[in-house]
Amino acid sequence: MTISLTNTGKRFNRDWIFRHFDFQFIPDKHYAITGPNGSGKSTLLQCIAGAIALSEGKINCRDDVSQKEIPSDSIFKFISIAAPYLELVEEMTLLEFLKFHNQFKPLVSTESFETIMETLGLAGASSKQIRYFSSGMKQRLKLGQAFFSATPVILLDEPCTNLDNQGIELYDTLVAKFSKGRMIIVSSNDQREYQFCEKIIDIRDYKKSN
């Protein structure tokens, strides 16, 4: 999938978070959106995901196989996202959650539920309700939900939040094994999280007031 942003901008009240953002994200490339805390990089990522409406401009998504534009209400099928603020269904066990997720956004066919849980370091928690997970375990699951979904686009917002050293190593492993052939966009101010990205976009270059 190719994602094209044309003269896009987002503001809250009178404050422009970003403006005049023109960019084309293409398949099999990895991008980082950088900037200090509160600069708007997460807002831009959520606009790309369709979770937040733009204040101006437009986003077009094209299926590179059919060369047809993807309707806005179908974009979610092509995108997976991991972010600290996204909620998990905490009443479910880990295995129940993976099976539930697989019903509306299929997981990659090469990996079984058991293999996914083992890769995430959560095999021993398969029957445990997510509400009892630590913050690090929840972040591992969020990353797994993104990387193991069979989507051509992965959006990552501060992906190593709440992770210890082993969790960060897991993140590096997921990037190394599951990024090939996929577009990845990382929102972060930590270079360790986006060191694999070929293109760096500084959100401060688009903070114009008029």
Q: What is the pLDDT of residues 100-109, one digit of tens each?
A: 999 989 999 9
Domain of 191, CATH number, reads: 3.40.50.300
pLDDT of residue 210 exceeding 70: no
Q: What is the pLDDT of residues 53-82, one digit of tens each?
A: 999 999 999 998 888 999 888 888 999 999
DSSP 8-state secondary structure symbol assigned to residue 70: P
Q: Which domain holds residue 13?
A: 2-206
pLDDT of residue 98 exceeding 80: yes
Count of domains forming the chain:
1
pLDDT of residue 42 exceeding 90: yes
Q: Are the CB atoms for 198 and 29 separated by under 8 Å?
A: yes
Query: Within the chain, where are the H helices?
Result: 41-49, 94-104, 113-119, 135-147, 165-178, 191-194
